[in-house]
Amino acid sequence: MKIDLSGQVAIVTGASRGIGAAIARVLGSCGAHVVINYKTNANLAIDVMNTIKASGGSAEVAGFDVTDEEEVKVSIKSIVERHGKIDILVNNAGISKDGLILRVKPSDWDDIINTSLKGAFLCTSNVARYMIRAKYGRIINVSSVVGLGGNAGQSVYASAKAGLVGLTKSIAKELGPRGILVNAVAPGFIDTDMTKEADHKSVLGMIPLGRVGVPDDVAGVVLFLCSKIGSYITGQVIVVDGGLYT
């Protein structure tokens, strides 16, 4: 079965690299017009846009800070004014600052929670009003297995990602009657800039599938949730970790 998202408008936050960029590319490859959000990496976001266009897809870049209420409101309104709707929102923007709890600074807490959790809340609350009018929408939050099982040295990151799970399940119940599906994906150890400092060899031994994940592994699940194939799934967290969390 071919997945066809032609005519749909998708916003992917934090899409200039890593998992976000892979999600943007796969949605674009299936016909969606992709709005590639970034905060600081404009050149990387443009590279993602150009890759999508070079493959025959449609895309644009949109620089705004997901933690800024006014920026989010204005930017999303502008997207709707240009395209008439928003069908898909992928809340992927997030940061990580690892450290044991005794060394974590309150400012680290604010930065991580604001980007990963508050950012998803702001984008969702603004996009949802347009989806409700259309009686259609797909919202996917990128959480983490760390938000499900915790991890030493990642208490703040785990808190933000666990918060996304609660947000997902609650909003799914609110918006389901309006034709809007809300789900989350929880990646395990994925080869991105965020994990480049980690000891890949030690983690590899704990993954039953015997390999580290790549961004496209996550992007494929997001695509499934955006498609008609996943039309009876909402309020769920799909783990993408090669068996690491099993």
184 Rama sector, left if φ>0, alpha if ψ -120 to 50, beta otherwise: beta
State how far the alpha carbon of 130 is from the alpha carbons of 65, 125, 178, 225, 232, in Å: 20, 10, 11, 19, 21
**Contact predicate 33/58, CB 8 Å:** yes
Phi, psi of 139 (to 5 degrees): -120, 125
Residue positions annotated with a catalytic role: 157
Which DSSP state fits 118? Answer: I
Q: Which residues 6+ apart lie within 8 Å of 145 measured at CB?
A: 186, 187, 188, 239, 241, 244, 245
105: left (phi over 0), alpha (psi -120 to 50) or beta: beta
Task: Write out the two tokens for 162.
Answer: 């666990």
